[in-house]
């Protein structure tokens, strides 16, 4: 008899997006003429930078010609892209990362979700609260947790990001083995300074733990105090893996290209306490289960590093950051306490009531959709997330309506 992995049954069905959709649908049915403005989603709205489109077109033409056609590429990604990443995203920023420590993939979601496969099931896992849900759910699927009760999974260590700690969690009170960090953060929008990040790296070095550092929103950092990579912190090469993505950087959410850095100094231990290279293990896993990102997409990602590409990408991010500035400023004027939106596309707003009440009030009185903080964990209650991914006109209109309604 075919049996299922029962750990999947522990997953709390995500009613969040279904619930949002149901409420939005009802509002639209009741108000057929009202244009709804969506500031809830984490998906980009600007098209691909022109340099990426041109590079992709050229690559498609190469694929159409017998002389230049390419079949399977290297699972780890083409050298032309890995070299550009190592040089531009790391070496020029003072982080010592070489091209062969970079694994190209089709998304930071898959990589942040899959990396835990390399570890045994009895490790202690720490996740932030609120959190990007992928880190939690993939550990539940793997069987590293007990059941779900009172908004949390038994067995996970929750690192609380609260107004009292400026949304940067304290170090765990007990030793943990695997730590998920995400900066600039989804959903709180806060960034981390070098000093704060160093505490985590030092903790990991002291406890032989590993940090999975999700830097999917790195391109939004404008504050010079904020590191762009965990590898700018001394010692991080031994205890951290970093995830990056072109999704938000260059509008690749529908095009799919990302990368993961697994330094050769990074290790975990087997039962006999032998040091095992995580680089080698991930290489084994990646080349067994993944067959590479398509050639035209990798050429498009490469174009991001041209002079013109850097300008186009920066212009797009500046556009979203300006939206974020408008949202933050207007919500603050209305008396809401806000974080994020300065080195991030997300603004985390204290709702003054429960998350769903403010959601309903923004929808019903202003026709604006946000994301209730409860979708990101227990400590998301009492907050909503607004996203800067929309047109400036829509953002201004949304803020105008909210100001009128509240
Ligand atoms: N990591 C975080 C924190 C995210 O918010 C997202 C997407 O919203 C991702 C990863 C997914 O990135 P990708 O599109 O590369 O899979």
108 CA from centroid of ligand 1 (Å): 5
CATH number at residue 332: 3.90.1150.10
Count the domains in the chain: 2
104 CA from centroid of ligand 1 (Å): 15
257 CA from centroid of ligand 1 (Å): 11
The verdict on 298 and 313 lying in the same domain is no
The verdict on 107 and 234 lying in the same domain is yes
The verdict on 328 and 297 lying in the same domain is no
In a domain, 400, yes or no: yes
Nearest CA to ligand 1 atom 1: 216
In a domain, 1, yes or no: no
Domain extent, residue 380, equals 8-47+308-405
The verdict on 187 and 84 lying in the same domain is yes
181 CA from centroid of ligand 1 (Å): 13
Give burial (CB, 10 Å; 0-12/13-18/19+) of 273. exposed
Element (H, E) at 320: helix 307-333
The verdict on 141 and 72 lying in the same domain is yes
In a domain, 200, yes or no: yes
In a domain, 199, yes or no: yes
Asked if 146 contacts 139 with a C-beta cutoff of 8 angstroms, the reply is no
| Substitution site in 43, 186, 385 for ligand 1 pocket (most atoms within 8 Å of beta carbon) | 186
List, for residues 106-154, the tens digit of each pLDDT value: 999 999 999 999 999 999 999 999 999 999 999 999 999 999 999 999 9
Peptide bond into 3 cis (omega under 30): no
Buried b (16+ CB within 10 A) or exposed e, 111-147: bbbbbbebbeeeebbbbbbbbbbbbbbbbbbbebbee
pLDDT score at 46: 98
| Sheet with 346-350, side-by-side order of all strands | 338-340, 346-350, 383-387, 371-372
The verdict on 275 and 320 lying in the same domain is no
In a domain, 3, yes or no: no
Atom number, ligand 1, closest to the C-alpha of residue 132: 3
pLDDT score at 16: 82
The verdict on 290 and 325 lying in the same domain is no
Which of 306, 339, 372 is at the close of a domain? 306
| d(C-alpha 249, C-alpha 5), whole Å | 36
CATH number at residue 299: 3.40.640.10
Atom number, ligand 1, closest to the C-alpha of residue 258: 15
Residues of the chain below pLDDT 50:
none
pLDDT score at 268: 97
The verdict on 172 and 270 lying in the same domain is yes
Q: Which residue has the tokens 């090469």?
A: 237
């Amino acid at each position: 008899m075919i049996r299922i992995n029962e750990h999947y049954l522990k997953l709390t069905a995500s009613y969040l997006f279904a619930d949002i959709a149901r409420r939005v649908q009802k509002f639209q049915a009741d108000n057929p003429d009202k244009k709804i403005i969506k500031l809830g989603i984490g998906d980009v709205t600007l098209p691909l930078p022109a340099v990426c489109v041109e590079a992709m077109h050229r690559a498609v033409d190469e694929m159409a010609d017998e002389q230049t056609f390419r079949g399977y590429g290297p699972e780890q990604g083409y050298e032309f892209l890995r070299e550009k990443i190592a040089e531009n995203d790391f070496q020029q920023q003072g982080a010592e990362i070489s091209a062969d420590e970079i694994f190209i993939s089709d998304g930071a979601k898959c990589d942040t979700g899959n990396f835990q496969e390399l570890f045994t099931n009895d490790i202690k896992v720490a996740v932030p609260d609120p959190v990007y849900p992928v880190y939690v759910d993939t550990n539940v699927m793997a069987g590293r947790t007990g059941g779900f009760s009172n908004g949390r999974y038994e067995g996970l260590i929750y690192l609380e990001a609260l107004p009292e700690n400026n949304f940067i969690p304290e170090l765990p009170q007990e030793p943990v083995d695997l730590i998920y960090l995400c900066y600039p953060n989804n959903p709180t929008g806060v960034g981390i300074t070098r000093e704060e990040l160093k505490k985590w790296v030092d903790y990991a070095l002291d406890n032989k733990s590993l940090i999975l550092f999700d830097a999917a929103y790195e391109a939004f950092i404008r504050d010079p105090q904020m590191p762009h990579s965990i590898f700018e912190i001394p010692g991080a090469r031994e205890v951290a893996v970093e995830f990056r993505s072109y999704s938000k950087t260059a509008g690749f959410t529908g095009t799919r290209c990302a990368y993961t850095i697994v330094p050769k100094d990074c290790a975990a231990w087997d039962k006999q306490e032998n040091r095992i290279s995580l680089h080698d293990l991930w290489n084994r896993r990646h080349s067994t289960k993944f067959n590479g990102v398509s050639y035209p997409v990798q050429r498009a990602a490469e174009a991001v590093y041209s002079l013109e590409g850097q300008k186009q990408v920066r212009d797009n991010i500046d556009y979203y950051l300006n939206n974020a500035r408008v949202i933050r400023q207007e919500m603050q004027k209305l008396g809401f306490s806000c974080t994020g939106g300065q080195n991030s596309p997300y603004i985390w707003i204290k709702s003054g009531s429960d998350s769903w009440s403010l959601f309903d009030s923004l929808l019903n009185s202003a026709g604006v959709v946000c994301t209730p903080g409860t979708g990101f964990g227990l400590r998301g209650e009492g907050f909503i997330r607004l996203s800067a991914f929309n047109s400036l006109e829509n953002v201004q209109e949304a803020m105008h309506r909210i100001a009128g309604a509240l």
